[in-house]
Structure 1
């Protein structure tokens, strides 16, 4: 994935305007801004109609970055985070699209189910999570992992 600059976009594409409106109407961006406020984040406009929130204060969820609607959150500073993971903004933007397609908050339980499926099949949160695969595993800092047959997986503890 091509790295995305951290500066706000002067002009949004039609699709970006549709995504931004969908996530505003479905409430996920409003929730994301609320999560950022609770986490005492520094929030600013970002590229492609996204909001960048950094210095998130909580340990949940356990992730280097996460997205709620059009709000991209990290405990780090965004410039430092994208220096380590140049494709991360594009990866998180894909999650913003997933919120729009799933109608907003229904994305959250769907994501949890996809994560559980991935853990069951590979022992990792992302390797077989359809949402992470769609967003690009490597860009999000995930490693691919082989699928373990269900019979063998059920005999082994998670993470083994």
Structure 2
């Protein structure tokens, strides 16, 4: 671990984002292990929200998958960049800003990540995202309504 990564570990502990990540992992009944670059992995996360394959809170990377899922160096780099975002944005302040990024990206592309500045700065490709082109909002709305209509209705 580099000196700057150590600074990030301490900073994300002090800004409470890593503690929040650990709490979310405990609530999600995840199993914890140490990862590289000052990260902690929380695998086997059982809560259905968020729907992402992996997500980061502070220095904790949570996933529904097994530990081997993080053998992908590009994915780990992507999630580490998110941990730097928590450090730079003073912890949990990232959450409302990230939600704004999701909404803007969805409005522009119909996809929550393509134009989300936090995902773009973390590396879309490294995170397994595909960059979608900007499209008219009417097309985004039409696509969303079509998906909602095709979902099975609850009994």
TM-score by length of 1: 0.85
Question: Does the C-alpha gap of structure 1 residues 156 and 19 become closer, same or farther in structure 2, counting only changes over 3 Å?
Answer: same
Q: Report the 3-state secondary structure (helix = DSSP H, G, I; strand = E; otherwise coil) of the residue aligned with 1:44.
A: strand
Whether 1:117 aligns to 2:112 is no
Gaps of 5+ in 2: 147-155
Gaps of 5+ in 1: 1-11
Query: Which structure: greater helix fraction?
Result: 2
Once the two structures are superposed, the pairs formed by residues 20-31 of structure 1 within 5 Å of their partners are: 20-31=9-20
1:35 to 13, 24, 28: 24
Partner of 2:95: 108
Whether 1:57 aligns to 2:46 is yes
Whether 1:45 aligns to 2:34 is yes
Q: Report the 3-state secondary structure (helix = DSSP H, G, I; strand = E; otherwise coil) of the residue aligned with 1:124.
A: coil
CA deviations over 1:89-124 (Å, ceiling 9, x no partner): 110000000011110000011101001100000000
Asked whether the equivalents of residues 120 and 158 of structure 1 are also in contact (C-alpha less than 8 Å), the reply is no
Equivalent pairs counted in the alignment come to 146
CA deviations over 1:12-49 (Å, ceiling 9, x no partner): 21110111111000000001001111111110111111
Partner of 1:158: 144
Question: Does the C-alpha gap of structure 1 residues 57 and 154 become closer, same or farther in structure 2, counting only changes over 3 Å?
Answer: closer
Moved beyond 3 Å, runs of 4+: 152-160
1:94 to 58, 81, 103: 81
1:56 deviates by: 0.2
Whether 1:72 aligns to 2:61 is yes
Higher relative contact order, structure no. (Cα contacts within 8 Å, ≥ 6 residues apart)? 1
Whether 1:133 aligns to 2:120 is yes
